[in-house]
Structure 1
């Protein structure tokens, strides 16, 4: 499979225009224009590379400074005492910054501007780490031993945090008493919209309409829209439900989505809605994309079911040249798929209100990668192909409720845990991160996932037809594609890494997780999994064009046990916000924590936090 891709690479390099379709219907394209490497590549990244050290604290490259902007427990309302994680209760936690920060969106203030020194940080709070939250507790026994108070605290600490921030004298500060500050938690009332709203499998004893849901959980990556809302992704809630999924009326559906009744946070012991024996349909009300208006603290979040149901990782929004909205999504699990949603209607830039329900009507598709370097988006539309009543799909609502089954039926390409998917604002190309897949053997490799037992991950590059930048057609049925980098140690021949040959001992990385682009079109990669190789997770800048294409440089490293996630630039590129998630999580219990980052105070807990990275001279990051 690798030989076939390399052979095709040699054939196509320098050929026709990117992503072109010739009249005869065959797929050709110069995927690699400007790709050839100079003998000594000159990276456009101007900083001196950081030396990789796995330490109790974080580190940034020379010439850069960091600020802790928001920690778990920081107040989001006036009148709250200094945070003490040993004493906080659930009710108070709902007024404080949440736990295990993940995806970040910077939404400028005033709304509709590109202001880069005042805005709202909209931050996912994915999950909790009981082993470093509660003294004496291990990760394995949490589900059975957490008290009602601890369970409720965990529910209040997950979800999403919105906090107003300002840049003052080169340092970012939160506005603790801002009326825009807000928490969205596992108890926040939400509306269900789109084709699945009101379906019988969405109805419970507490909601006979199937249109109202309490809460969101496992909010991992996300996106933001041209009309000023934030999308937060529910990524695989299967292990926060108790009960026996095999006895449920929808046992096959629950099994396909990984429900095993493990109830790792004990919710099912105290809340019937998280017990599959009592409320089997509650599970169907999660694993969606949730839309939030951060500028209106009274607004109700909406679960947009037209975007499909999966372990959502990323919901990156692109405004296509014809005005339609495109959302790229990954299903973050082994052998799952990549998806794209295209809205039925166009967005009117002159009327932001036109985006209000735009994500309720459109076509969801799943990706198939072929060995000739082409990829096809297969529409998940009821009545087309195998998506029929005879094959178990009664209507479009069931196609979306059973998104994974539908993708299986169409023959989509199983990927190595597709996580973030982002678009380059300069080239219009799309980059999809595969973090790893230890379960793939040689018999299951495919053109886009070429290594068995892929412990290191890789990044796939998608090339829509139509041209560069805004001319790219993100609604097209067919794209070109290539493997941008295969990750891992390039000095280990068995790994088969394909970084630029000038990559340093500090520059190569493993397990890419979240990515973003700076205004100049450079890729920034945050990793999750380097700890397994006794390395720190961190953030790397990478050129995607020119002689230094595929040449990473290390900018930032995390403390012990933490991953880097949610990288997000201000519009002017002078600040890179980053979530440092689950510090010390590799400790069996709190008393064995290798770090108390970022406070380093005896008797206090490790605190997941948002960090701001800036150049000391105020120039754009990476320049």
Structure 2
């Protein structure tokens, strides 16, 4: 593999939100930050919740010792300092405490410094290799990848573009596995030679490059390295923007959606179920639709709340030129068929994927599953836009580990909730408080006056508005820690916090420090530019309960900036981190965080941080991704031997073209190819240690 480190065309031209280019914002989310926020309610914002707490600027400058001396030792040890949930709030590191000695899970990897290199930069003693890249043939009959001879039919048999959520599931042979990956969006300017294909061909190839891929893998020897496996080829699968999906749950009977929906796109994060299926969140679906004339008035309120266009417009992709369902003048109901959580069975390549309507219609970042104390299923999901909400679904039925097929309907029956956060207002120097999950609907009864069950699920944002939950700063990935039982929420950023959105105790930052370049000075700008990680403890550590305690675990940014906070750890010893996007856990319960849109002048990356013990809050950068890329995933293998990272949109800057790229990673061609890589230790020991 090439050791190329820096390209001469790298520049700051075209960046807008930290490392994000204007082009990325247009293609990924239709520039939603340039449009009025769809949530125009007066519902309390998380920043207002945080504002009710006393200023902790002085406390934030202190390290763990200073906090302990101030009588806030609970912040260092992991004990909530002001848990008002009676007897059920934890008094140790989680349900039953932290198992084993803390040093067993110590994160001792070397720190990767901030950089702008056009490579994956990893700690000393580690290696990395590409597992799957855009264009790799994965289905029978797929031709070799050739951008000069690409067709829609070829792309539908090849690995898709811009890999995001990544999951690896086991096969009976422990050396074999299945990789399941989302393909969120495409960038045709970087994908193809200028003028090579006409608009219709580009649109058809783009539709085939979206969706999901299932790819068989094999372990290389006894190492942590994985590669594609020709013997697992029978499981391989491509799902595209045209694949038929079965709509399940109450919405299937509603004429706005119906029983069948074609395709999935804008797929961001996801989750895996205990019965071995993969969930994928349809996120920024609004940017795929054109309006050739007008949209019927009865759709306006709903469309406006989701940022879907209602007046004459053309999207960046213009898919309507090859498929009329993307013209909302002709087929307005098509907008209601997207924005769902989809479920795919990777073990059965002939099964029909599902759109699970009981989890609501949002701009889903993903959906992650846990089992409640009484054996039911809970699914957490964030609505990734400024000022949107955090949701949870709890099933009616119980998970049966002995009957896989019996579990397939669990996500169709249950109750959907939305979260309200309340600050404790105490002068404890912390941003913390309590909260409640407010029910919106079950599969049989709506709890929102004037809305049917189907109304609530199709227009979940409008339904949630009416019960006054807390508006959050782009709630993205939400994961439950399998060791301490707590739930961690990545809140990526909100540049309008303190301006259009009032601050509160759960969203406290109205001004942030950023860097315009890698070695440039810190500059103060309005808003929450660097994001948070929120830690949530549900009553009795039970995901079925409706009460919880919360605290801001991380206030991200440069450690030298006054507003930052790292779980009470000494700020002089942590890595700068900006814009947390996805989270995961290793076998010891350590938190791994990927970033998207770093505003501190360096490439995005993956970071590690213990959540308990004396190292709680010690953020360390584990790797950085190539120039212009977003770090997606991360995924830590069950044996802690491998870290999988999905490198999305490398080199996506406004001055880049196919002929003049600003990245060529993974350096297999003279243009960039989004790809998934695996990282492992040379000595085959557990990663991170």
Q: TM-score, normalised by structure 1?
A: 0.88
Instruction: Return the alpha-carbon distance in structure 2 between the equivalents of residues 565 and 278 of structure 1.
Output: 36
Corresponding residue for residue 484 of structure 1: 553
Within a 5 Å distance, the mapping from 1:47-66 to structure 2 comes to 47-66=109-128
Indicate conservation of the 8 Å contact 2:583/2:591, yes or no.
yes
Within a 5 Å distance, the mapping from 1:131-142 to structure 2 comes to 131-136=189-194
Instruction: Return the alpha-carbon distance in structure 2 between the equivalents of residues 348 and 251 of structure 1.
Output: 43
Indicate conservation of the 8 Å contact 1:580/1:611, yes or no.
yes
Corresponding residue for residue 538 of structure 1: 605
Find 2:240's aligned residue among 185, 195, 201.
185
- Structure 1 residues 4 and 117: CA distance shift in structure 2, 3 A: same
Q: 1:332-364: per-residue Cα shift (whole Å, max 9, x none)?
A: 001000000000111111212221111000000
Indicate conservation of the 8 Å contact 1:459/1:484, yes or no.
yes
- Structure 1 residues 388 and 253: CA distance shift in structure 2, 3 A: same
Corresponding residue for residue 660 of structure 2: 592
1:558 maps to 2:625: yes
Q: Which moved more, 1:410-419 or 1:161-170?
A: 161-170
Instruction: Return the alpha-carbon distance in structure 2 between the equivalents of residues 124 and 403 of structure 1.
Output: 24
Corresponding residue for residue 492 of structure 2: 435
Q: CA deviation at 1:5?
A: 6.0
Corresponding residue for residue 19 of structure 2: none
- Structure 1 residues 401 and 541: CA distance shift in structure 2, 3 A: same
Indicate conservation of the 8 Å contact 1:19/1:479, yes or no.
no
Instruction: Return the alpha-carbon distance in structure 2 between the equivalents of residues 448 and 597 of structure 1.
Output: 39
- Structure 1 residues 348 and 12: CA distance shift in structure 2, 3 A: farther
Greater RCO structure (CA 8 Å; 6+ sep): 2
Find 1:105's aligned residue among 167, 174, 178.
167
Corresponding residue for residue 530 of structure 2: 456
Corresponding residue for residue 100 of structure 2: none
Q: CA deviation at 1:247?
A: 3.9
Indicate conservation of the 8 Å contact 2:481/2:585, yes or no.
yes
Corresponding residue for residue 176 of structure 2: 118
Q: CA deviation at 1:607?
A: 0.5
Q: CA deviation at 1:29?
A: 6.4
1:322 maps to 2:374: yes
Q: Which moved more, 1:582-591 or 1:168-177?
A: 168-177
Indicate conservation of the 8 Å contact 1:371/1:447, yes or no.
yes
Where 2:365 maps in the other structure, the secondary structure is strand
Instruction: Return the alpha-carbon distance in structure 2 between the equivalents of residues 336 and 435 of structure 1.
Output: 12
Where 1:314 maps in the other structure, the secondary structure is coil
1:445 maps to 2:503: yes
Corresponding residue for residue 468 of structure 2: 411
Q: CA deviation at 1:254?
A: 0.6
Corresponding residue for residue 4 of structure 2: none
Q: CA deviation at 1:269?
A: 2.5
Q: 1:530-556: per-residue Cα shift (whole Å, max 9, x none)?
A: 1x4321100111010111111111111
Corresponding residue for residue 131 of structure 2: 69
Indicate conservation of the 8 Å contact 1:307/1:341, yes or no.
yes
RMSD of aligned alpha carbons: 2.8
Corresponding residue for residue 376 of structure 1: 436
Corresponding residue for residue 188 of structure 2: 130
Instruction: Return the alpha-carbon distance in structure 2 between the equivalents of residues 12 and 21 of structure 1.
Output: 18
Within a 5 Å distance, the mapping from 1:25-64 to structure 2 comes to 44-64=106-126
Within a 5 Å distance, the mapping from 1:98-497 to structure 2 comes to 98-110=160-172, 117-136=175-194, 147-169=199-221, 170=223, 171-176=225-230, 178-202=233-257, 210-243=258-291, 246-260=295-309, 261-372=313-424, 373-381=433-441, 387-389=448-450, 393=451, 395-442=452-499, 444-452=502-510, 453-466=527-540, 472-493=541-562, 495-497=563-565
- Structure 1 residues 63 and 306: CA distance shift in structure 2, 3 A: same
Indicate conservation of the 8 Å contact 2:281/2:364, yes or no.
yes
Q: 1:222-281: per-residue Cα shift (whole Å, max 9, x none)?
A: 001111111011002001000056545311101101112442211122211000000000
Where 1:4 maps in the other structure, the secondary structure is coil
- Structure 1 residues 505 and 20: CA distance shift in structure 2, 3 A: closer
Q: 1:198-240: per-residue Cα shift (whole Å, max 9, x none)?
A: 20222xxxxxxx1111110011000011111110110020010
Within a 5 Å distance, the mapping from 1:569-588 to structure 2 comes to 569-588=636-655
Instruction: Return the alpha-carbon distance in structure 1 between the equivalents of residues 502 and 551 of structure 2.
Output: 19
Instruction: Return the alpha-carbon distance in structure 1 between the equivalents of residues 403 and 200 of structure 2.
Output: 47
- Structure 1 residues 600 and 295: CA distance shift in structure 2, 3 A: closer
Corresponding residue for residue 617 of structure 1: 683
- Structure 1 residues 496 and 555: CA distance shift in structure 2, 3 A: closer
Instruction: Return the alpha-carbon distance in structure 2 between the equivalents of residues 384 and 231 of structure 1.
Output: 25
- Structure 1 residues 598 and 476: CA distance shift in structure 2, 3 A: same
Corresponding residue for residue 38 of structure 1: none
Where 1:375 maps in the other structure, the secondary structure is strand
Where 2:494 maps in the other structure, the secondary structure is coil
1:529 maps to 2:529: no
Instruction: Return the alpha-carbon distance in structure 1 between the equivalents of residues 465 and 51 of structure 2.
Output: 24
Indicate conservation of the 8 Å contact 2:359/2:416, yes or no.
yes
Indicate conservation of the 8 Å contact 1:290/1:304, yes or no.
yes
**Unaligned segments of structure 1, at least 5 residues:** 36-40, 203-209, 467-471
Q: CA deviation at 1:381?
A: 2.2
Q: 1:293-339: per-residue Cα shift (whole Å, max 9, x none)?
A: 00000000000000000000120000122110000000000100000
- Structure 1 residues 404 and 87: CA distance shift in structure 2, 3 A: same
Q: CA deviation at 1:22?
A: 3.3
Q: 1:571-599: per-residue Cα shift (whole Å, max 9, x none)?
A: 11111111000001114323332111102
Q: Which moved more, 1:377-386 or 1:397-406?
A: 377-386
Q: Which moved more, 1:247-256 or 1:396-405?
A: 247-256
Q: TM-score, normalised by structure 2?
A: 0.80
Instruction: Return the alpha-carbon distance in structure 2 between the equivalents of residues 32 and 350 of structure 1.
Output: 31
Q: 1:433-452: per-residue Cα shift (whole Å, max 9, x none)?
A: 00000122256112211112
Q: CA deviation at 1:499?
A: 5.9
